[in-house]
Chain A
Amino acid sequence: MIPDDIKLSGCAPFLTTYTLGEVEQGAACCVPIPHIQVENLCVSYHGKPVLEGVSLDINKGCITALIGPSGCGKTTFLSTLNRLVDLIPGSRVQGRIRIDGVDVTDPSLDVLGLRRKVGMIFQKPNPFPISIRRNIEMPLREHGLRQRDDINERVERALRDVGLWEEVRGRLDTSALALSGGQQQRLCIARALALEPSILLMDEPCSALDPIASAVVEGLIQSLRNRYTVVIVTHNLAQARRVANYAAFFWMTEHVGKLIEFGYCQSLFESPSHELTAAYVTGING
C-alpha cells in the first residue's frame, strides 16, 4: 500500500476560509513547515551552467509559483525536484535538495519511489494513447496495486478530485486522446493524484489551454491547496497572483539562471525588494 503521509492536520480546518490575505497574517496553514529544502542548487548541461546558487524552502500544503522570463531555469529547477533532469544527457546537479528531510540528489535514491511521491504535470497535456481508465490504472498497477476494487476506487476518486468523473464516467474505456485539451490536462492531474503524491510539480499547466479550460484547471489547482504541496511554473503573472501563496522570481544573468527573490506572493508583487523583480512584475522588463 502507498503510505498516507500527506495529511496536514493543522491545515484542514482552514480549508474553506483560506485566502491569500491570511497567509500574510500567518494563517495556520502556512506556519512554515518546510517540505522541500533546496540548498545552493547548481545545474549544468554538458558543463555549461544553466542554474546557479538556488536556495529556498518550499512550505508544506502551499502553492509556490515560479515566475520569470523563458530560459531562466524554472523548468530545470522543477525537474531537479523529481530527478527528471536525469533523463537529459550531460546534465549535472550539485547542491542539496531535501524532501521530507531525505536528500533526493543522492545517486542511490529510489527514483521511481520519489517520482510517485512527487507528481509532475507538463505544459502540453500528455495522456497516454490508451483508454481513460487505463491511463490512471496502469501506473497504479505498475506501483504494485493489485486489488481490482482498490484500483477502481482510486480511479473514481482521482477523477472526482479533478472534476472529471461526471464528464467521463460513461466512456472510461474510450481513448483518452478523444478528450478536449482541458479534460486531458485534468486527466493528467488525476493520473498523478491517483498515486497519492505529496508534492505536485506543474510546468505551465494552463498555457496550452483555451481561457475557459484554463480557468477550470486553475480552479482545480486552487482546490489542491492544503492537501498537496504545489510548485507551479507560470508565465501568467495574474494567475500566479491568484493561486500562489509564495512566489519565486528567477532571472537570467549572463545566460545563467538565478533566483532573485523569494517570498510571499503578495509582497513579491506589491512591494518587491529587488529592482529586477519590480521591473518584471510591472511589465517593464522581460
Chain B
Amino acid sequence: MLKSYFRLNDQMLTIIVWFSVVLVISGFLWLLSDIVIHGIAKLNVGFLVNAPENAGRDGGIGSILVSTLLILGVALLATIPLGLGTAVYLSEYTYRGNAMARSIRLSLDVLAGVPSIVFGLFGNALFCIWLGLGFSILSGGLTLACMMLPIFIRLTESGLAAVAIEWRHGASALGLTHVAALWHILLPAAAPAITAGLMLSIGRALAETAALIFTSGYVDRMPDSLSDSGRALSVHIYDLSMNVTGGDASAYGSALVLIVLLIIIYSLVVSLTDHFLSKRIATS
C-alpha cells in the first residue's frame, strides 16, 4: 500500500514537471512561430537597409536599426565601466553588513523593479531638459543605462562575491596588490556572472519602449549624430502596431529582426567572454 502510494506521488511529480516544461516551451514556440510566419515575407536585404516610407508601412528599417544599435552602444558604454566599478566597490571595498553598502544594495534592488515609464520620465527630466540633451540618442542611451545598471551591478557583485575565498587568500599571500588580484583572478573568475548580467541588461535595453519614447523620441529618419533623435526598433514595432493602420506586416518583420538581433548580440557576448577567458589562460 505504502509503496504504491509513493509510486503514484512520483508519477504525479513527473507529470507536473513535464507539463510545466511543455507549457513554457510551447508558449515561447507559439510566439516565435507567429512572428516568423508573419514576418519572414518582409525579411530581405532591402528591408534591413532602406529607410522607412509611408509611416513605416513600406520601405525598410535601416535608419531604425542604426538608431537602435547607437542607443544600445551608448547604454553599454555607460553601464559597463560604472557597473563594474560599483560592483567591485560593493564586493571588495566594503564588509558585509556595512551600512553604506547595505543601502546601496537596497536602492539597486528597488531600482531594478521600478517601471520603465518612471525611468522614461526621469530620463526626460534629467537628460533631455535639465542637461539640455533634448530628444536624442544620447538621452535614450543614458536612460537605458540607468535601467541596466541595477541588474548588471547586482549580478556582477554576486559573481565576485562567489569567487572562492582560497583564491583571495592565495593572492594576498603572494603579496599581490588588490588591483592585480582583481584583474588577474577575481574578474576573470566572475566572468560568467558578468556575462549573464550583461545579457540580461541588453535584453532589457532592446525590449525597452516606454523609456525611449520620452528620451530618444520617435523620429524615423537616419540620425546624423548622437544628439539627433532616433527611433529604436521596439518603439517602431509599438508605433506600427498601435498607430499605423496597415503596418502589421512591417511590425512583424521588425519584431523578427529584433529577435534575430538579440540572438546575434547574445552569441557575440558569450564568445567575447570566452575569448577573454581563454586569453587569460594562455600565456601573456
Shortest distance from the beta carbon of B281 to any chain A beta carbon, whole Å: 5
Most buried by B among A126, A128, A172: A128
Q: Does B45 contact A (CB under 8 A)?
A: no
Q: In the complex, which residues of chain A have a beta carbon less than 8 angstroms from the beta carbon of B180?
A: 138, 142
A173 touches B173 (CB 8 A): no
Contact of B283 among A124, A134, A191 (CB under 8 A): A134
Contact of B175 among A116, A127, A134 (CB under 8 A): A116
Cβ of B281 and Cβ of A115 under 8 Å apart? no
Are A128 and B173 CB-contacts (below 8 A) given A134-B284, A173-B282? no
How far apart are the CA atoms of A120 and B282 in the complex, in Å? 25
Whether A119 and B282, one on each chain, are in contact in the complex, defined by CB atoms closer than 8 angstroms, is no
Mask for A124-142, Cβ within 8 A of B = 1, else 0? 1011111101100111001
CB pair A130–B188 under 8 Å, yes or no, is: yes
If the complex has contacts A133-B283, A138-B184, are A128 and B170 also in contact, measured as CB distance less than 8 A?
A: yes
The complex places the Cα of A130 from the Cα of B174 at a distance, in Å, of 15
Q: A112 near B188 (CB under 8 angstroms)?
A: no
Residues of A within 8 A of B173 (CB): 82, 84, 115, 119-120, 122, 192
Q: Provide the residues of chain B in CB contact with A138, threshold 8 Å.
A: 180, 184
B167 within 8 A of A: yes
Let me know if A91 is at the binding interface, CB within 8 A: no
Q: Would you call B172 and A143 a contact (CB within 8 A)?
A: no
Task: Verify if A145 is at the interface (C-beta below 8 Å from B).
Answer: no
Interface residues on A, range: 35 or more
A120 to B172, CA, bound (A): 10
**Contact residue among B170, B188, B283 (Cβ-Cβ distance under 8 Å from A188):** B170
B189, CB-defined interface residue at 8 Å = yes
Q: In whole Å, how far is B8's beta carbon from the nearest beta carbon of chain A?
A: 45
Say yes or no: is A283 at the interface (Cβ < 8 Å to chain B).
no
Question: Is there contact, CB below 8 Å, between A115 and B280?
Answer: no
Considering the chains assembled together, what is the distance between the CA atoms of A87 and B95 in angstroms? 11
Give the residues in chain B near A114, CB-CB below 8 Å: 175
Q: Is the CB of B174 within 8 A of A191?
A: yes
Q: Does A95 contact B (CB under 8 A)?
A: no
Using A116-B174, A129-B185, A195-B174 as known contacts, say yes or no to A84 and B283 having CB atoms under 8 A apart: no
> Measured between alpha carbons, how far is A138 from B174 in the docked complex, in Å?
10
Supposing A112-B177, A122-B166, A134-B284 touch, asked if A128 and B185 sit within 8 A by C-beta, the answer is yes
Find out whether the CB atom of A130 lies under 8 angstroms from the CB atom of B184. yes
What residues on B are CB-neighbors of A89 within 8 Å? 95
Q: Decide if A113 is an interface residue (CB 8 Å cutoff).
A: yes
Q: Can you list 14 residue pairs at the A/B interface with Cβ under 8 Å? A: A111-B175, A112-B176, A116-B174, A116-B175, A120-B173, A122-B166, A122-B173, A126-B167, A128-B185, A129-B185, A129-B281, A134-B283, A173-B283, A195-B175
A residues adjacent to B (C-beta < 8 A): 82, 84, 87, 89, 111-116, 119-120, 122, 124, 126-131, 133-134, 137-139, 142-143, 172-175, 188, 191-192, 195
Binding site for A on B (CB under 8 A): 95, 164, 166-177, 180, 184-185, 188-189, 280-284
